[in-house]
Amino acid sequence: MESQKKTPRGQSNVSGSLTNKKPNKQTKQSRPPKTGAFQKSGKEEVTLFRRFYDRSDIPVALDSNCRGPKLRWLIEIEKLDYHHFLPLFFDGMRDTKEPYATIATLGAKDMIIHAPPNKILNVVPQLIIPIKKALETKDPGVIIRMTQCIQELVKSDELVGEALVPYYRQILPVFNIFINKHNKAPGNRAISIRVPTPLRREAMATDERPWQQTRKEQLFSRFSEEDDDDD
């Protein structure tokens, strides 16, 4: 019998095919892909407000001074056609180019503040699409401008908040995403996208799961109960 070759001390008796095999490197755990929830929407489109302003069809001029930009109205605000101009200014708030964004924001606020009684309430249904389009841009600056105008809108008439209820499902989803989002403003100053308190409560309480009663239905039932109590 052939004598078995002794292996030197400290060496393994395993065949070369196994000893030469390098151990597998541990695979790094890859992070899940980003959902893109906070990503801005795609290509910016030219707003209707910008087209009207470039054609000089909007009766305003922008005056700038040491206190900041201010609008100079060429006609009295009370004489404006609110059904035409207020949705137009709201549409312009999703524009990121200047001076369109500033003029649209200041114009919308001026019209809300100086509105005759019941003017705003009657225009609410026409404002939903511009509000929805502005929020869907997911641009923090646009969302902040629109949120501030919604606050002015709700404060202008005690019935405006109730008039917005049927449209909560169209305007709350983006608020629900950005409700705790903070944005870094120029100068490294942190600013919060503050959602109006009534809308914030609804956004936090809204549940899109089909087996639960929607928040919209709960609100309608609540208003119905209040009407019955008043009777």
pLDDT-derived band of residue 12, with 50, 70 and 90 as boundaries?
A: low
Mean pLDDT of 129-142: 88
At 75-89, the pLDDT tens digits run 999 899 999 999 999
Give mean pLDDT, residues 198-216. 43
168 falls in which pLDDT band (50, 70, 90)?
A: confident
Higher pLDDT, 207 or 163: 163
pLDDT at 58 over 60: yes
Residue 105 Cα distances to 2, 4, 34, 49, angstroms: 97, 92, 32, 11
When pLDDT is cut at 50, 70 and 90, the band that residue 13 belongs to is low
- pLDDT in the model for residue 211: 32
- Please give the helix or strand (H or E) that residue 65 lies within, else none: strand 60-65
Alpha-helical (H) ranges within the chain are 16-19, 48-54, 82-92, 100-113, 119-136, 140-156, 160-164, 168-178, 197-205, 215-230
| pTM of the predicted model as reported, rounded to 2 decimal places | 0.62
- 158 confidence band (pLDDT: 50, 70, 90): confident
